[in-house]
Structure 1
Amino acid sequence: MAINNFDQKVLKTKKKLTQNEISVLQFIHQHPNDINQTTISDLAKKTNFSSSFISKLVKKIGYSSFAEMRLDIKSSIVKKAESEEYDILENQNTDITKTNSLLLQMNFEPINQLFDSASAIYVYGTGHSQNNYMRELSRNLMALVKVPVIFLSGQSEFQSVIYTADQSSCFIIASTTGETKVLIDAIKVLNLAQVPIVSFTKFSDNALSSLATYNLFYYLTPIHNPSMNRNIRSYLPLAYVVDFVIREYVNHLSK
């Protein structure tokens, strides 16, 4: 991100500044939103310096007045917000574009034939969001295939069927990381029974994709959360993969 005007002015005059002046400028740098809504007298009280000291300081770094500095900082805040909004939207577009590129390189015919020949299709997602999209996938598959489509709503349901499934059935499993130990242990049980598995995971070299029969990947860029340290995840790319799979199968049936 480009450095703002205020910081540029401070850096240009830093060698001429006293330690007291630097401490005030550091306070301004660290509290831009507060400065945007404060007066020079309020800032003087917060920094324990006089209004005249601050007035001389802002002129020393290149502003004609405190008001001009405040307006410049406000402009920088607006530009930063617009830039972050653009980055977030651009990341969404990039994730979908890259996911689409992966899907276009896939040969869906083996997966489509698996849906045709399976005696039953089990659908499972490891988390709340993944499960929601797997529910949507199962709902659409129910309308398309002539065999039972069993949506597994939780881990206990998933583990209750892995020991009775055989190679005539198939599993569709969505997991963001593809590394959950409980999940991988269950996948190994299915592997022993030679049950075909279609995995939906974030694009990475993960345990689930290495054990699955067919892999469908999506890109997922975390969204920075300005309110908390924990980032936000949007599973729109996963929804795109689900929609793509259904359309590919409808196209297969049409032929």
Structure 2
Amino acid sequence: MTGRDNIYREFRNENGEGDAPYLAWMAEHPEGFVLQTRKKPDPGYMIFHSARCKSIRPPTRSNKPSPFTAEGFIKICSEEIGDLLDFARAHGFNDEPVQRNCCKRFFDPMMFLDSAVLAEVTGPRPRSLLFDLSMKAKIAGRECPDVIEERRRTYQRSEEVASYAKAAAEGKCVVCDEPVPQDLDPMQFLDCHHIIFLRDSGPDTRENVVGVCPNCHRRLHVSPDDQLVGRLLRTAKERAAELDRQD
């Protein structure tokens, strides 16, 4: 493997390392790009892929030990398509890049313009994270997204328990204590959060639910906090016990 200031990486499998380094790069850069050519770069055989292309990642029908970086071929990988174009042009490539049919939707013709021509068309390219994300979103976005059928395991939730959790919050988020906006219905705005997640065998009962705002609900799932979980459990149990005493 070699590189030019870490702009791109070459995977040649010359030291018997197999496909492992290449596959590790692919796993770390799912939004990257891959150029396939011969070990002696051939301007007549330069194929550009999205890193998401199924033809350049497992599983494969080949029974060979290193199907992706063997048989006289190499993979040049980069997070930016422009880096691969620079590599290709430095090795005599002047034509429109060849893309496999499965990758065409990931590419935009603007990506293959020479950098000087691109600057004339669009102006100087700011190298910001937002710009890079914008370009990748432009490439990946689709007017008619594919429909994917998935089988998911879901838990049956009681509507009565959910309504109770929202009503018990009394118009404000139990986590951040911020009130529901005045023009919104708390029963529609607040979410019912299961303090011990259902997937972790948490019960769907009054003692395990609280009413929270959408932001805090997301936070509770993305970054659980043990102390906060304990506080919420105490709050839920005390509230249910208090209402039981009024029975």
Q: Please indicate, yes or no, whether the TM-score normalized by the shorter chain is above 0.5.
A: no
TM-score calculated relative to the size of structure 2: 0.29
Greater relative CO (CA pairs within 8 A, separation 6+): 1
Tell me which structure has the larger Cα radius of gyration.
1
